[in-house]
Amino acid sequence: MVNLHPFQNRRIELDLTYEQVAKRSDCSASTVHRWLTGQSEMSIRDVVALAHALRISFPEVVENLKNSVEGRAIAAEYRREQRDRNGTIRTRSSADGRCCVDEYRKARASA
């Protein structure tokens, strides 16, 4: 479940209407309203699009999603990208984690 308060607070902080957020996230204003009032569940793609529209950083999105399965997968992928920038895999558990995330990404791409 996504904690909607950071998204709603950021929308208010930026002084954006639902229509403006919708235009930035390429969806309808009613959809944004349903997301931000909790009337509709958001997919991971929706969360990322909304975060992008509201200029919320990726680490903040990951923190927001950390209690969901998708959030843990995104966090693992983020850590993987950070690790790739800083060097190679150092342990077997890191390699296993990378394999798990790769499988998750393949499954999401084919869905």
- Considering the domain architecture, whether residues 11 and 55 belong to the same structural domain is answered as yes
Number of domains in the chain: 2
Range of the domain at 16: 5-64
Nearby residues of 65 by Cβ (< 8 Å), 6 or more positions away: 2, 44, 47, 71, 72, 74, 75
pLDDT tens digits in sequence order for the chain, 111 residues long:
567 778 888 999 999 999 999 999 889 999 999 988 888 888 777 888 888 899 988 777 777 766 666 666 766 776 777 676 655 545 545 555 555 666 667 777 776
Half-sphere exposure of 105 (CA within 13 A, CB side): 12
The CATH number that applies at residue 19 is 1.10.260.40
- Considering the domain architecture, whether residues 78 and 60 belong to the same structural domain is answered as no
Q: What is the pLDDT at residue 33? A: 93
Domain end point (choices 30, 49, 64) = 64
| C-beta neighbour count of 17 within 10 angstroms | 11
